[in-house]
Amino acid sequence: MPATAGHDDKRTVRIASFNIQTGIRTRRYEDYLFKSWQHVLPYGRRFANLEKIAAFLRDFDIVGLQEVDGGGSRSHYVIQTEYLARMAGFPYWYNQVNRRIGRVALHSNGLLSRLSPARVSGFALPGLPGRGAVLVRFGAGEAALVLVILHLALGPQARKRQLDFIAERIRGFSHMIVIGDLNCSPKAREMQHFLSVTGLRDPEPRLRTFPSWRPRRKLDHILVSPDIDVRHIEVYDFVCSDHLPIGAEVVLPAATLSMAA
């Protein structure tokens, strides 16, 4: 659904974040063992799962993806971000490869957008190789919206370094949204520090996204600056990965965004 303008010169945009686990459908802990081969070998039914994901994402305007394959042999050399963009009708997409395992796997973050970005940049995050961030700017000047897509490390010290790195990159912007698999809860010390130094807020910290078949923890987040009104936020009961997708309907000044043609 495209972004829609309101009578108060503001714009409503639907945003989602989804760790798609390279199109592997996980429904129980045993699947990590019995389906582990799907992380390294081609699997035909992966495309059927990606098509379901594309159908789900079709209703959003901007999507941040994590654990996307960027064209390895396990995904039949298909860049999954591009595949989802084509299947769901997104005119703009960006794939950031963070880790290469030969020709087998290209671990990536992805952006899908119906809005025309003014600039898209990929950054390697501090710590061990393999973690990255995508920084997207919509609009220009003081009205610009900065969106960051993240997939953070597993350890708290590494996550703090990575969040500090992002805090420096978004310093000075007024309109900000940070989304992604942050691998920690809203109450984690590194998360609380990040919120305090950036001024971002978590509209609904009680939501749970992991594991998808029995969610107990909130690892996936949509964080917004105080000026952004969140009309609705939810975690969707859509089990096509080991994470559930999280989505929000946010209200932005119309001047912030450049609409896609």
How far apart CA 257 and CA 261 sit, in angstroms, is 12
The whole-number pLDDT of residue 30 equals 65
The whole-number pLDDT of residue 31 equals 61
Q: Can you tell me which residue has the tokens 């001024």?
A: 199
The whole-number pLDDT of residue 260 equals 35
Higher pLDDT, 258 or 9: 9
Q: What is the pLDDT of residues 230-252, one digit of tens each?
A: 999 999 999 999 999 999 999 98
How far apart CA 205 and CA 235 sit, in angstroms, is 11
User: What letter would DSSP give residue 91?
Assistant: S
Q: Which stretch of 8-12, 87-91, 185-189 has the lowest confidence by average pLDDT? A: 8-12
The whole-number pLDDT of residue 175 equals 93
Q: Which stretch of 4-13, 98-107, 133-142 has the lowest confidence by average pLDDT? A: 4-13
Say whether pLDDT at 50 is over 80. yes
Domains and CATH numbers, the chain: 4-256 (3.60.10.10)
Edge-to-edge strand ranges of the sheet holding 132-138: 119-124, 132-138, 145-151, 175-181, 220-224
Say whether pLDDT at 54 is over 90. yes
Q: And the tokens for 232?
A: 């609705």
Please compute Rg for the chain using Cα positions.
17
Query: Helix, strand or coil for residue 129?
Result: coil
Cβ(152)–Cβ(164) under 8 Å?
A: no
